[in-house]
Structure 1
């Protein structure tokens, strides 16, 4: 009792299915890294870039 049933058209269900499938494909190509790993990579990149510039000057 008190439940609300909402009509969802076939096209809306298909749209939701396609979005879900596209997200799964995207995640398989570009896997999510933990935030700490992303920060570590950014720190290493900055350090390498800084050292390379010093050697070239």
Structure 2
């Protein structure tokens, strides 16, 4: 009781999946040397920041 269910559009889930995939490819080419960045890869999609400025964040793809 008291649970909140958040509707996540399919397009947002797909975008989060593509971002994870791109980061995995990037990390395979340029292995992370920063332990914080390496740890970020373990964050689940439900805890990821997913919005229009995601690619501008720290360590993001540009």
User: Shorter-chain TM-score: which interval?
Assistant: 0.5 to 0.7
Name structure 1 gaps, 5 residues minimum: 36-57
Larger-Rg structure = 1
Q: TM-score, normalised by structure 1?
A: 0.56
Unaligned segments of structure 2, at least 5 residues? 36-62
- 4+ residue runs of structure 1 moved beyond 6 angstroms? none
- Structure (1/2) with the larger helix percentage: 1
More contact order relative to length (CA 8 Å, sep ≥ 6):
2
- TM-score by length of structure 2 reads 0.52
The count of residues paired between Structure 1 and Structure 2 equals 35
